[in-house]
Amino acid sequence: MTTTSEADTGTGYGRPKPSYNTRLREVGPGTPMGEALRRYWHPIASSETLIAGALPQKTRVLGEDLVVFRDGQGRPGVVFERCAHRGASLYYGRVEDDGIRCCYHGWKFDVQGHCIEQACEPGLGRRRDAARQPWYPAAERYGLVFVYMGPPELKPELPRYDALENPAEDERYFASWPIPGATITGAPADFSWLNIYENSADPTHVTWLHSTHSGYQMTGTGTFGYPENFFDPALIAERLTYERTDHGVKYTQRFEVEGEDGEVTEYGFAVDQHLPNVFGLPDFVKIAPDGRQDQLLWIVPSDDTSHRTFFSIRTNDPERFGRFLGGITQNGKQNHELTDEEHQKFPGDTEAQGSQGAITLDSEETLATGDRGVVMLRRMLLAMADDVEAGRDPINIIRDASEVHHVETGLFTLGKRPAGENADAPAAAGV
Ligand code: FES
Ligand SMILES: [Fe+2]
């Protein structure tokens, strides 16, 4: 028999059953977070690829199975997938000029679910008014179709964001994933939306995962992109600032770039979240400071254990769009090109966030200073659920159609110092 002088501590034996915070992480109808999320508009499809009269698309949002289509008159429609007659899927339906027609018995519904024809009934359905296909309001902006799934009387304005407003004449919105099967209803992933939304408040993972651990993954690092000191784990803690803003969580990461003449420029790389599920990323591949932010992402829960990502980029530069989509490589490849061994040796966001589990287990976490942004975000999301339960409008609800959200994401020049001067010079003060 083996004996030890002291009891072994910290073994896995006898631990309580792992659990997650249901209030934070469940999104179905009637759950606290599900009800809070239903107070906002969410992207459901890309406008450009939702073609008038084309086959309907099947999707799932906040635990509800939906069909999205564009009728022949160009109106976007979002209805329950299950037909109000006897339940056949409208995914097998046909989109016509004024609505969608079920394959089973030919009932036709318009974009607001009114039954406008019952093909096999006398007089095409003398009592068709009694049938109503459950539907949700849809609206379009920034190259995306949005849906509102909350209480009709509390429907807010579709939000505007300054980053995407007022495109120049030669600019357009890029908002479609050029991936077969994922172009219309976003990019799907089989883990909770919070694994990725929390990641957007977690800058230390960029330093470790995207560089130190797996090799530099942001294309352009050290050339036209971010300098190697941006990714230095020994510097990251002192270079980060987290802020709770009036619309979400924002972090700023300071870093330095030395010019050929030895002059050092200090920049701030800022990522700004707009609750409940929006954030902007600066150009993370190319140093492009002090311009107007041009891009936003939305992380939309499909259900508790899966989500879809949407984006919109306002630009006249297809390279910017390409840099965004292909900007992170793993061993010089895109994620889907990796071998099993490469997934292990060169992990990126997919490996890290996917392996947290379909829902991350709050009871098994050990949080530290680098998780400040994540903790702030969780608190703000829970406050959002509290507000909805208390009958108040939650954060970021827009009632005035002219209001424009300010997005503070970007890469900003903070200061410069001449060659040879040390980092305590005034350039860095006040940050
Ligand atoms: S089930 Fe849809 S028309 Fe009968
Ligand atoms: Fe990442």
Write the residue with the smallest CA distance to atom 1 of ligand 1. 86
What are φ and ψ of residue 52, in 5° steps?
Answer: -60, 130
pLDDT at 430 over 80: no
Centre of ligand 2 to C-alpha 84, Å, is: 42
Nearest to 275 by CA among 25, 80, 40, 43: 40
137 shares a domain with 194: no
Q: Determine the average pLDDT of the residues in 298-302.
A: 98
Q: Is 107 near ligand 1, meaning CB less than 6 Å away?
A: yes
Instruction: Identify the residue whose tokens are 């972090």.
Output: 251
Q: Is 115 near ligand 1, meaning CB less than 6 Å away?
A: no
Q: Is 88 near ligand 1, meaning CB less than 6 Å away?
A: yes
Nearest to 328 by CA among 173, 194, 205: 205
Q: Is 67 near ligand 1, meaning CB less than 6 Å away?
A: no
Ligand 1 atom closest to the Cα of residue 105 is 3
232 shares a domain with 137: no
Best of 81, 83, 90 for a ligand 1 pocket test (most atoms within 8 Å of beta carbon): 83
Q: Is 90 near ligand 1, meaning CB less than 6 Å away?
A: no
What pLDDT, on the 0 to 100 scale, is given for residue 423?
Answer: 64
Banded model confidence at residue 188, pLDDT cuts 50, 70, 90: very high
pLDDT at 375 over 50: yes
311 shares a domain with 240: yes
Write the residue with the smallest CA distance to atom 3 of ligand 1. 105
pLDDT at 313 over 60: yes
150 shares a domain with 176: no
Banded model confidence at residue 4, pLDDT cuts 50, 70, 90: low
What pLDDT, on the 0 to 100 scale, is given for residue 431?
Answer: 32
Range of the domain at 416: 172-428
Q: Is 92 near ligand 1, meaning CB less than 6 Å away?
A: no
What pLDDT, on the 0 to 100 scale, is given for residue 1?
Answer: 54
345 shares a domain with 203: yes
DSSP 154: G
Ligand 1 atom closest to the Cα of residue 93 is 2
What does the alpha-carbon distance between residue 328 and residue 342 come to, in Å, rounded to a whole number? 15
Q: Is 105 near ligand 1, meaning CB less than 6 Å away?
A: yes
pLDDT at 7 over 90: no
186 shares a domain with 103: no
Q: Any idea what the CATH number is for the domain that residue 405 is in?
A: 3.90.380
Nearest to 250 by CA among 56, 343, 380, 430: 380
The answer to whether residue 246 is domain-embedded is: yes
What does the alpha-carbon distance between residue 214 and residue 206 come to, in Å, rounded to a whole number? 11
Banded model confidence at residue 183, pLDDT cuts 50, 70, 90: confident
Q: What DSSP line would sit under 343-404, residue for residue? A: HHHS--HHHHHHHT-SS--GGG----GGGHHHHHHHHHHHHHHHHHHTT---TT---STT-E
Q: Is 94 near ligand 1, meaning CB less than 6 Å away?
A: no
Domain total in the chain: 2
What element of type H or E holds 233? Answer: helix 233-239
Q: Determine the average pLDDT of the residues in 3-18.
A: 85
Q: Determine the average pLDDT of the residues in 269-292.
A: 96
93 shares a domain with 177: no
The answer to whether residue 24 is domain-embedded is: no
Return mean pLDDT, the chain: 94
Q: Which residues of 109-148 are buried (b: 16+ CB within 10 A; e: fewer)?
A: bbbebbbbbbeeeeeebeebeebebebbbbebbbbbbbbb
What pLDDT, on the 0 to 100 scale, is given for residue 249?
Answer: 98
The answer to whether residue 362 is domain-embedded is: yes
Banded model confidence at residue 428, pLDDT cuts 50, 70, 90: very low
Q: Determine the average pLDDT of the residues in 112-138.
A: 96
409 shares a domain with 298: yes
Model pTM? Answer: 0.95
pLDDT at 308 over 90: yes
Nearest to 298 by CA among 400, 399, 396: 396
Q: What does R_g of the chain's alpha carbons equal in angstroms?
A: 24
Banded model confidence at residue 224, pLDDT cuts 50, 70, 90: very high
pLDDT at 197 over 70: yes
Q: Any idea what the CATH number is for the domain that residue 89 is in?
A: 2.102.10.10
349 shares a domain with 251: yes
pLDDT at 341 over 90: yes
214 shares a domain with 72: no
133 shares a domain with 209: no
Write the residue with the smallest CA distance to atom 4 of ligand 1. 105
The answer to whether residue 7 is domain-embedded is: no
Centre of ligand 2 to C-alpha 218, Å, is: 10
What does the alpha-carbon distance between residue 159 and residue 400 come to, in Å, rounded to a whole number? 9
What pLDDT, on the 0 to 100 scale, is given for residue 259?
Answer: 87
48 shares a domain with 197: no
Nearest to 397 by CA among 114, 63, 154: 154
Centre of ligand 1 to C-alpha 108, Å, is: 9
